[in-house]
Every structure is written in structure tokens, then in C-alpha cells.
Structure 1
């Protein structure tokens, strides 16, 4: 499967904001967020805008055959500057289970070499299974998993090196 990461520009903020609603819809299964009276999910727009205005933030569309298939929001982790953090990652339903997510992650690792982490809600069993399997395969199981707090929410953290991932996938 041919996957491309397309860097977003400021002009892409409305598109990302629309896609973010789909991401929030998926996450609402675990977070139980209410739908607003306008029919969407309310969120702090600075979560999205940070990827266009703050250093160390890198927004990408995940593209497949010229079509937007999702997004990857990569950043320097604010609580540990030595870590690259997958801030948010989303693949549209019609593209899941095709290997696209793993290929998108590989592209992210090529663009941002270093020590990585992915954070997952423990109740989001589908995402946890995807990330655990994908990172295990890419790193020959040389990753570390732990639980911890992220802004008041219990998360599962997967830590790994892009060097290990890229070496085992070539």
C-alpha cells in the first residue's frame, strides 16, 4: 500500500478541524463526551492550532492514492523534550485494517528519528491492540509499555526508538 504523509499548511486548518470531529466521535466511545446543541463535539481549538503555530509540532495528512485517509499529529512531548509524541493519530474507517496505519507510522519515524512515545486510552482496546502490534512488529518487541497520568487521564504509554523500528523494518 502506497502511503504518503503530506505536511499541512495553515490553509489546511479547516480540513483538520473537520477531520478532528470524526476523531472525537471515535474517541467519544471511551471518553463519553456529549454532542453539542450544534451537533458536534466541542474542543479547545488550540489543540489543533498548536500544530501550526508552535515549534516542535508537525501536522500531516495521511494520504492514500491522492485521497485523505487520516492524519498524524506529531510533536515534541511538552513534559519531556527528549521524546517525540504522537499527539493524535486517526485513520478513516474505510482505510482501517489495510496496513495503512503501520505504513503511516513508518513514514513518521523516518521524518522524525529519535525516542518516541504513543499514548493510548486503556479502554480504547482497538487502538491499544493496533499500537501494541504495530510497534512490536516494527521494533522486534524492543519497546517498553507503562501506565501513567496524562493531564488527569490514565493512559498506556508505549516507548520505543525509531532507530530500532527502522532497522527491523528494512
Structure 2
């Protein structure tokens, strides 16, 4: 599938429910490597409150031809090093994977928030590691670092990069 029109924008308050529902799909996709259980309502129940109440958190949605295709959640309070931004969660619906939607979402989110970045992937998520290595390598023309962390709050692979403001 090759999408004809990809739009990436900051999520509005009206998009909170679609974003929440995509988060449920995301968590289900990762349920074989992310140890979580459903709550009494049959949901994973990821809280989005901080993305609407905290100015240090940012929620983005991606749409293809006007239909929701994915999201990116960015936080500045969470990081493993001195970076300013942490890619908290990132998801593209299976229908749109390997079609350029994820790459477009990532690059537009980076461009919207210039500064130091960290992007982490779970050790078991080889597909995410390959995706982010490719996107970040291309976006930075190879000017980034990567580490595998084995202790601390985050255990997995992390890439760091700096996004320059668009002149």
C-alpha cells in the first residue's frame, strides 16, 4: 500500500479517544514482549492525561487520506541521558507499515521539536530497532549515537540525535 496523502499534526483534545484506541492496539501488538495485563474493563488503560495537561509532553497523530494511521507520544521528563525529548510511544497501524507512514511521522515529529532526542526500543523488538536505526541514520546522515542499556529504568537499545531548528 502506498498512501497518497500523509498528514502529521499535534493531536487535538477531540482526538483523545481515537488516540487512546490506537494505544490499545499498540499495547496489544507488544503484548508478547511487554508484560501487561488487561484491567477490569478489558483495557490496557495507558493514561494520556499528561499529554493534555503537561506542556513538556506532546501527542501527534498521523492520518492517511483522512484516516488515522498512527501516533507518536513525546515526553521530556523521561530520558536516560541529557536529552531534551524522549520518544515515549510510537505506533503505526499494520495496514500502513512499510509504506512510508512511520518514517514520515517520525521525521515530522523530530522537525516539530528541535533539540536533543533519545529514542528507545525494547531489547526483544528487533523490528523497531531496525526501523529506528534506518530512520535516524537517514535523518541525521549518520550523525547519531546508539547504546544498549542493561540496567536502570530503561533496558534496551537507545539512539540519541540532535535535531537542528529549520532555518
The TM-score bracket by the shorter chain reads 0.7 to 0.9
- TM-aligned CA deviation for residue 99 of structure 1: 1.3
Structure with the higher fraction of residues in helix conformation: 1
- What RMSD, in angstroms, separates the aligned Cα atoms of the two structures? 2.5
Match of 2:89 in 1: 88
Cross-structure match for 2:161? 160
The one-character-per-residue Cα deviations of 1:80-128 (angstroms, maximum 9, x if unpaired) are 6752111111000000001111111111122111111111101111111
Shift of 1:5: 1.4
Name 1:41's counterpart in structure 2. Answer: 44
User: Counterpart of 2:133?
Assistant: 132
The runs of 5 or more residues in structure 2 that have no matched partner are none
* C-alpha deviation, 1:14, in angstroms: 1.9
TM-score by length of 2: 0.85
Q: How far does the alpha carbon of each residue in 1:117-146 deviate from its partner, in whole angstroms, 9 at most, with x for none?
A: 111101111111110111112212211011
> Paired residue for 1:61?
61
Structure 1 segments unaligned to the other structure (5+ residues): none
Shift of 1:11: 2.7
Misfit runs of 4+, over 4 Å: 79-82
2:83/2:118 contact within 8 Å kept: no
Q: Secondary structure at the match of 1:133?
A: helix
Per the normalisation by structure 1, the TM-score is 0.83
CA contact (8 A) 1:74 1:88 kept: yes
Q: Is the 8 Å Cα contact of residues 137 and 144 (structure 2) preserved in structure 1?
A: yes
Tell me the distance in 1 between the aligned counterparts of 2:49 and 2:19: 10
